[in-house]
Amino acid sequence: MIAFDQVRVRYPASDRDALAGVSFTASPGQLTAVVGPNGSGKSTLVRALLGRIPLQQGRVTVDGTATALLSRRDLARRVAVVSQREEPAFPLSVRDYVALGRFPWQHAWSPPSPQDLDAAERALREADVVPLADRRTDALSGGEWQRVRVARALAQATDAIVLDEPTTFLDIAHEMACFELLAALAHAGRCVVVISHQLNLVARFADRVVLLARGHLVAEGAPGDVMRGETLERVYEWPLVVSRDPAVGAPTLVPLRKRHAPLP
């Protein structure tokens, strides 16, 4: 379980909080999606979890233990994170890159154990990147790179996984496959947190949705309770309609065009 308790963060030289006392819990067995416009504080939540920014107030806990009390290795054994941006210092084969996910479980200078090798191969299969295993990371497309990064997180074999925009650069089929995989991991008992702009995918797959705006928690609950037209229109500052997907009954967001006066 990952819990944010009255977390407040303000970046240097900023005139407002990036997170203004945000509290919510992501539980095992559920896919929790964090959504909101650009600048709402979504990625700041990940930085707060990793201890990359100081907290002015509150705390972040994993299974009841404050992350500030955990070493980097202990935190990496509990939570795998796919950040929004990452570039390796030098190219590796995809298989070797995915195997880096086993680092928190290894001893210094020791070779990979059979368990490490099995976990890495399983992660390659789960993320559907086995055909890429012998490619170099600098020879991957944007979508392939995203899937490989998810595979590395899966190789960590943690009870919780946090992903910041994991479907960036992915086509429709791989977007669906990614969310199918994350939903399956959650329903198998893991705590899965996804930060996403893909509201329609979130509505279809998430068990709980956390909506942020300007660092504040606006709404939290089941997709049908959070994805309401009047709420989303106010938060995103754009006209839209929320209807129901006739295939699965999930909320579906349809942005509308604004009316503009014709050019002279």
Mean pLDDT (whole number) for 14-36: 96
Per the prediction, the chain carries an average pLDDT of: 92
Q: How far is CA 99 from the centre of its chain?
A: 20
Residue 110 contacts by C-beta under 8 Å, 6 or more apart in sequence? none
pLDDT beyond 60 at 223 = yes
pLDDT at 108: 72
The answer to whether the CB of 7 falls within 8 A of the CB of 22 is yes
Check residue 206 and give its pLDDT: 96
Q: Rounded to an integer, what distance in angstroms lies between the CA atom of residue 264 and that of residue 257?
A: 20
Is the predicted pLDDT of residue 134 greater than 90, yes or no? yes
Report CA torsion sign: 173, 131, 92, 125. Answer: positive
Mean pLDDT of 211-229: 95
Q: What is the edge-to-edge ordering of all strands in the sheet holding 19-26? A: 19-26, 2-9, 57-62, 65-66
CA 18 to chain centre: 18
Q: Is pTM beyond 0.85 here?
A: yes
Contact yes or no for 181/127 (Cβ under 8 A):
yes
Task: Tell me the pLDDT tens digit for each residue of 34-89.
Answer: 999 999 999 999 999 999 999 999 999 999 999 999 999 999 999 999 988 777 77
Which residues have a Cβ under 8 Å from the Cβ of 111 and sit 6 or more positions away?
A: none
Task: Write down the residue that tokens 């504040």 correspond to.
Answer: 216
What is the separation of C-alpha 146 from the centre of its chain, rounded to a whole number of angstroms? 12
Predicted local confidence at residue 263, as pLDDT: 60
Task: Provide the β-strand partners of residue 115.
Answer: none
Q: Among all chains, which residue has been given the structure tokens 């309609």?
A: 241
**AA letter at 40:** S
